[in-house]
């Protein structure tokens, strides 16, 4: 079994859409500086504050076979809300 490392991430933004972009960019930053890949997340949102956790491990190029590196989340196609069925949708385009 591979050891998992927990990383705490906190963000605050003016609205939910900006909060999504900030959260994703915080994860991209943590992945880059820690040289990690994340596979499990926990998020608690209160108002426009997000407290989250990401669990991951050191990147192993042979095992993970990364094809591209995400550079950051953008505001292109940004949406946070419910669809017609009442399910939550959070989306944006990321730069690679």
Based on the number of CB atoms within 10 Å of its own CB, is 28 exposed (0-12), middle (13-18) or buried (19 or more)?
A: middle
Distances (CA, A) of 94 to 1, 27, 76: 31, 12, 8
Which residues, listed in sequence order, are joined to residue 11 by a DSSP beta bridge? 50
Residues 8-62: tens digit of each pLDDT: 999 999 999 999 999 999 999 999 999 999 999 999 999 999 999 999 999 999 9
Place of tokens 């999504």: 20
Check: CB of residue 4 under 8 Å from CB of residue 55. yes
| Mean pLDDT score, 64-79 | 94
CATH for the stretch 5-95: 3.55.10.10
């Amino acid at each position: 079994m591979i050891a998992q490392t927990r990383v705490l991430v906190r963000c605050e933004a003016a609205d939910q859409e900006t909060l999504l972009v900030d959260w994703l960019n915080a994860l991209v930053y943590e992945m880059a500086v820690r040289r990690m890949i994340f596979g499990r997340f926990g998020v608690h949102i209160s108002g426009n504050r997000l407290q989250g956790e990401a669990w991951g491990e050191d990147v192993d190029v042979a095992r993970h076979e990364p094809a591209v590196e995400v550079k950051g989340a953008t505001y292109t196609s940004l949406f946070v809300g419910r669809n017609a069925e009442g399910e939550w949708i959070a989306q944006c385009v990321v730069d690679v």
